[in-house]
Amino acid sequence: MSADLLERAKAAVAAATRRGAQGARAAAVRERESRLEWRDGKLDRLRDSTKLSLHVTLFVDGRFSSNATSDLRPTAVEKFLDETLEQTRLLAKDPFRALADPARYEGRLRKDLRLRDEQIGSVTPDERRAAVKELEAAARGAPGADRVVSVATSCSDDLFEGALCCSNGMEGTAARSTFTLFAKTSVRDEGSRKPEGWWYAVARHRRALPSAGEVGREATRRALMQVGAKPAKTGEFACVIENQTAGRLVGALLEATDGSSVQQKRSFLAGKVGQPIGSKVLTITDDPHVVSGLGSRYYDGEGMATRPRPVFERGVLRGYYLDTYYARKLKLEPTCGSGSNLVWGRGTRDLAGLLKAMGDGILVTGFIGGNSNSATGDFSFGIRGYRVERGQTTAPVTEMNISGNHLAFWKRLQELGNDPFLYSSDRTPSLRFDKVQFSGV
């Protein structure tokens, strides 16, 4: 359990302060991973590992450093601290570096978020092997599977345990389990094309996973969706972006809410708190307290107690992700240095309903490369998906780009689906947009 890790973290903080550090923060972490990969009826890779590490942040005479070691023998830790303290004293001073205000440690949620499954240590190698074989059998038995060329599957269960201690009064422990099923299928197409489709499921609790058969069949279905795909003509089209795909665009938008980007003037959202960025449909809350959520946590990396907070309300930007350092540089109150779970406003229609509401346009089911400039807001992503006519999918499309600028793009958001993607901390629903720019032939 995490009690031994807390003792390690506390000992490291005490040792650092004895050596002259005015402030110290230590995180002791144990990570266990068990993973079995299977390809075309044969074992491809087996991994079973446990990693123990210590991360120490030092504040010494106005200087700052962040350090890590995986050698936790007492004599090695002593040497590690001696060396890192000496090296820290050689760095330039930074007056903005400091531990979090102790008041930020207070009010930590006491409710059980159910982040650790007690079954995490009981999954056997035979059960993992049975799961990957079932994944492959389902992929090869799905409708249209006569086109299947190759199937790769995997099954994994991981456990993270950690403890955090700060010299100005914070102590905490955390434990999170993760169970994952994955399948990838490649199929024959015209000429030498072999489009691939993949699907996965991930959950904190094993019983929350769908069946391996469901995941395997979906991987093959998604591969077959791309058979015969061709680019459509360039133009402006209404579009629906499928829930499991929409996270890519949302991540590009939220990249500009990062405190370092804002402070370093690399964010197109700098200075825009309180201003409308998207349509009134865009409401997103960062909620670290979703029960069994993939991004849930009681405290952040600095030890600050986590709290739900709005990111966008009816299109209006409400704040940035600010740790103590960038909050001090920007003369703002810290929020949290990184995101947790995103909880969206809820629509009334599923994907089929969104397509019907759109009528004609493009359904985006995947992104292929591309980039987004967090400084300007310009973006361009390769896409694959379907043409949609009168609310029904028709010809598959690929090798097209969707492009624009976030400050204009999100104002074209017309409707959210009622289908949040639960196998991600982004929890994105399907999104329906008014006409946006697509380039093809």
Domain spans, the chain = 3-32+46-105, 118-224, 235-439
Q: Using alpha carbons, list the distances in angstroms from residue 265 to 78, 148, 268, 337.
A: 40, 49, 8, 17
Averaged over 90-100, what is the pLDDT? 96
Residues β-bridged to residue 392: 389
As a whole-number percent, the residues of the chain with pLDDT over 70 amount to 100
d(C-alpha 21, C-alpha 59), whole Å: 6
Structure tokens at 329: 């540089």
- For residues 375 and 358, the answer to whether their CB atoms sit within 8 Å is no
pLDDT digits (tens, 9 = 90+) for 158-192: 999 999 999 999 999 999 999 999 999 999 998 88
Considering only the top CATH level, what class is 3-32+46-105? alpha beta
Averaged over 218-230, what is the pLDDT? 94
Q: What is the pLDDT of residue 441?
A: 78
Strands 235-241 and 361-372 come out as parallel
On the question of a common fold for 3-32+46-105 and 118-224, the answer reads: yes
Residue 440 in this model has a pLDDT that exceeds 70: yes
Q: Using alpha carbons, list the distances in angstroms from residue 427 to 210, 260, 285, 369.
A: 17, 24, 11, 21
- For residues 157 and 123, the answer to whether their CB atoms sit within 8 Å is yes
Q: What is the pLDDT of residue 346?
A: 85
Structure tokens at 391: 């609310």
Residue 1 in this model has a pLDDT that exceeds 60: no
118-224 has CATH 3.30.2290.10 classification: yes
pLDDT band, very low/low/confident/very high, at 50 (cuts 50, 70, 90): very high
d(C-alpha 38, C-alpha 437), whole Å: 40
| Angular region, 361: left φ>0, alpha ψ -120 to 50, beta rest | left
Mean of the per-residue pLDDT values for the chain?
95
Residue 241 in this model has a pLDDT that exceeds 90: yes
Please choose, from the candidates 18, 9, 2, 105, the residue with its C-alpha nearest in 3D space to the C-alpha of residue 57: 9
Please choose, from the candidates 167, 181, 351, 377, the residue with its C-alpha nearest in 3D space to the C-alpha of residue 272: 377
- The tally of CA atoms less than 13 A away on the side-chain side of residue 223 is 33
Spell out where 3-126 has E strands.
23-39, 42-60, 63-69
pLDDT digits (tens, 9 = 90+) for 377-418: 999 999 999 999 999 999 999 999 999 999 999 999 999 999
- Sheet containing 23-39: which strands, arranged edge to edge? 63-69, 42-60, 23-39, 148-166, 170-187, 196-203
As a whole-number percent, the residues of the chain with pLDDT over 90 amount to 96
Q: What is the pLDDT of residue 335?
A: 94
Q: What is the pLDDT of residue 121?
A: 86
- For residues 384 and 242, the answer to whether their CB atoms sit within 8 Å is no
Residue 147 in this model has a pLDDT that exceeds 60: yes
d(C-alpha 158, C-alpha 178), whole Å: 5
Can you say whether the dihedral through the CA atoms of 268, 274, 278, 284 is positive or negative? positive
